[in-house]
Structure formats: structure tokens, C-alpha cells
A and B are shown apart, each in its own frame.
Chain A
Amino acid sequence: MFVAGSFEYNLHLELAISELEKKGIPRDNIAAVLMDSRVEERKILDTIHRADGISSFDAAALIGTFGLLLGAIYGFLLNWGLVVWGLIGLLGGAVLGLLGDIFITRIFNKKRPGKATGTVKGAAPQVVLIVECHDDRAAAIKDILWDNLALGVGTLPG
């Protein structure tokens, strides 16, 4: 029968595979399907699970840094001093950069209709591992997959 488990790319996936091989499953009986992710609506911050490749952080960091500089410079002349104004400049600049980036991207994306904008909640499975084995070993293999942080595990009798 076949046991399938979905995983993210991480070291646990390789631990699972090596454990299967150590338990006597030949390499040829293990297959990995590498999933392409669906085009997602871009999000502000990247996470460990996904990165859209468009860094919204660029403008925020650059304008935020410039705001920090201006805040420190004019803080010498203003009432609350340069530390407070520096922080105000940093936050103000970062928010400005982020909003500007989102605004520009929104205009830019409008020019490309037909782009899928479905979002995937939580972690999207990125690799599906399929293991062929005798029926009596299926339970043990499922345990190995679950123990190594599989997102989901299923079987196909045969």
C-alpha cells in the first residue's frame, strides 16, 4: 500500500526520510512530489513558511532610517529632544515607506488582471512524500511521518 505525508521544507523532512530508510524501506520505494505554491496575495511580512520575493521591507527600512536621521537632527532644535524625535522619525518613516510601497504595488497589480489572489491560511504543504510498503508496516510508517512534523498523513490501499 501507499502512505503519503505532506511536509514543509525543513530538516524534519530529511530526518523522516532517513528514518524510513533505516527502518528498511528502500530508496526506490520513497517518492517526493515537490509542490508549486499557488500565487498568493502578497503579505506585508515574510514568515518562515513563505516569502513572496517582493520585499515590502526595502522602502520601510530606507525611509525609516532617513526619518531616524532627520528626527535626530531636528530633535536638537525641538522641545522633546533628539531621542524622542528620532524614534518618531523612525516609526513615521517606516510607516510611510510601507504605505507607499503597498499603494504603489496596488496600482502596479491592477495593471495585471487575472493574477490569482487566493490566500492559503497557515502553512501550505510544500512536499508530499509517498512511501510504498506492505500493509502491516503502514502504521509504523505513519508514526514516523507524524513524529517528524508531517502536516497531514494519508494512505492509499493497494
Chain B
Amino acid sequence: METKQPESIRNKRRPIGVLSSITVNFFHLRNPWVSACWSAFFPGFGFIIMGSYVKGFLLVGWEFLINSQAHINLAIMYSFQGKFDLAREVLDVRWTLLYLAVWSFGIWGSYALTIDINKLAILGNREDSTMVPVSIGALDISFLDKRQPWVAGILSVFSPGLGHLYTHRIPTSFVLLVLTIGTVYFSHILQGIQYSAMGDFSLAKAVIDPQWLLFIPSIYGFAIYDCYVNTVEYNKLFEQEQARFLRDNYQNPRFRSRLIVTANQED
């Protein structure tokens, strides 16, 4: 009666993921509110955490263009500080309205995508889909392995993007390294850190460009969070894949009967 499709088709129809030489992209369960929050912090991040890179990069680029032209970050800062007149003044109305629809779409879109991906993750698991655990290409090598989540987190604390190099998620690493260089340079944050460390806080405030600075908290938090979660999920995926290999190859029923005979002789 069992009419399960052959494994080759099962793995193609309801795959659990794909391992390419530059990244391991796969489905796992997530909280949709978490993706929605990341998209709210920085449009595109909610898609990047799911490995939806083209959409993610598109929205990240869009965010940089529109936000820096419309001065959304400055307006956010002045609004939080209670300086509403300044906030109104600083917004460039030639650009501002462009922000709303796409920002909202980012939040809703990543929320909805998470829910769909959760369904696909459940289906893939029920089909017992698996993936080839190693991929070697002309330019890079990737494989499933057990890694330390806190190492990934700490590396991203030192420099956003490094944790993703450790877990071999190259596209995220690339975009984070580029974003970090750009925002750190234009916001003058390193000078601000230098002056703060020397105790000259007023000089630190004067040198920093708040429009660029306000990009940094989201990038920093996201880099740490995302590579930590990836490491944990990659470890689980490794165990799942290896368990299946062992089940398929090293659970011969004849072995069991021999073991029972031996154990009974012991008694």
C-alpha cells in the first residue's frame, strides 16, 4: 500500500535545502515575528536570514538609497529626541513617500515568507529529505560540520561578516562586510570610539554623522544574531543528515538477531 515516491524525487520535490560551494541554504522553523522585526530594523534583513538573497540585496540597496536621500535616519533620531520641528525640516519630501510602501512590504513580506518556509520545512522533514553534505566547486568548498555558535557570535562582535565566514554563508558575509566598511567610514564611528575612549565626549558627538550612524545598530545586531542562529541550525542539520546515513547503512536486521543470541548466552 505504501506508495512513497522514490528518494530521488522526494528530495527534489520537498527538499530540505541545498548545499552549494558558497553557502548552505536550507529550510528550518523560525518565528515569523523575528523576521518581521529584522525587516523593520533594516529592510531586506528579514529576507537575508532566510537565504532569500536577491530580494534581500535589492531591499538593502533600496534602503541605502532612499534613506540617505530622504534623511529618514535623521528624522527618526530627532523624533526620538522630541525635536519634531527639526525632524520635519530635515526630511526631503521629494523622496520621503517612496519609503513607506517598500518598508511596509519588507515587514509583511518577510513575515509571510517565514510562514511559508515553515510549512516547507515541516514537509521536507516528514518526507525525510536530505542533502549531499559536501560541495566542492572551482572556487570554494563547503560542507556540513559541527561548529561553536558562540565563536560565530564573538567573531561578528569583532567585525560584522566574520561570523558568516566561519559558518560559510558567503553571500551574507559579503553584504555585511561591505555595509560595515561603508557605514563605519561615512559615520566616523571609529573616530567617535577613539575620542570616547580618551574621554572627549563632546568631540565624539561632533565628529559623528548621525544619518550614517543610525544604520549601524541594525547591521551590528543582525550580524551577531544571524550567524549564531545559523551555526545552531547547521549543527542540527549535520546530525539529521548523519543519522539518516547511519539508519540507511548500519542497521541491518540480521545484526540484531545475532546480538540477541549472544546476550542470551551471557545470562
Chain B binding surface, main DSSP class = helix
Residue A122 lies at the interface, judged by CB distance under 8 Å to chain B: no
Determine which residue in A79, A132, A158 has the highest number of CB atoms from chain B within 10 A of its CB, and name it.
A158
A28 at the interface (CB under 8 A from B): yes
Q: Is A81 an interface residue (CB 8 A)?
A: yes
Chain A window 35-68, contacts with chain B (Cβ cutoff 8 Å), 1 for yes, 0 for no: 0000000000111100101010110011011101
* Shortest distance between the CB of A123 and any CB in chain B (Å): 11
Q: Contact size class for A? A: 35 or more
- Whether A65 contacts B217 by the Cβ 8 Å rule is yes
Contact B221 A27 (CB under 8 A): no
Q: Which of B37, B146, B192 contacts A48, CB < 8 Å?
A: B146
Q: CB within 8 A of B201: which of A8, A68, A79, A130?
A: A79
Q: How far, in Å, is B183 (CB) from chain A's closest CB?
A: 12
B-side residues, CB < 8 A to A, are 31, 34, 37-38, 41, 76-77, 80-81, 145-150, 189, 192-193, 195-196, 201-202, 204-205, 208, 210, 213-214, 216-218, 220-222, 224-225, 228-229, 232, 235-236, 238-239, 242-243, 245-247, 249-252, 254-256, 258-259, 261-263, 265-266
Chain A nearest CB from B84 CB (Å) reads 14
Are A73 and B81 also in contact (CB < 8 A) when A32-B251, A47-B149, A83-B192 are?
yes
Task: Find out whether the CB atom of A69 lies under 8 angstroms from the CB atom of B263.
Answer: no
Nearest A residue to B221 via CB reads A65
What distance in Å separates the Cβ of B56 from its nearest Cβ neighbour in chain A? Answer: 17
Contacts of B31 in A (CB 8 A): 58
B266 touches A48 (CB 8 A): no
A75, B238: Cα distance in complex, Å: 44
| Shortest beta-carbon distance from B213 to chain A in Å | 6
Q: Is the CB of B251 within 8 A of A31?
A: yes
Whole-angstrom CA separation of A69 from B245 in the bound complex: 46
Whether A158 contacts B265 in the complex (CB less than 8 A), given A58-B31, A58-B34, A74-B80, comes out as yes
Asked whether, in the complex, the Cβ of A158 is within 8 Å of the Cβ of B222, the reply is: no
Name B210's contact: one of A2, A32, A70, A76 (CB within 8 Å): A76
> Which B residues lie within 8 Å of A76 (CB)?
77, 81, 205, 210
* Contact between A65 and B41, CB atoms less than 8 A apart: yes
Q: In the bound complex, how far is the Cα of B232 from the Cα of A55, in angstroms?
A: 9
Q: Is the CB of B147 within 8 A of A62?
A: no
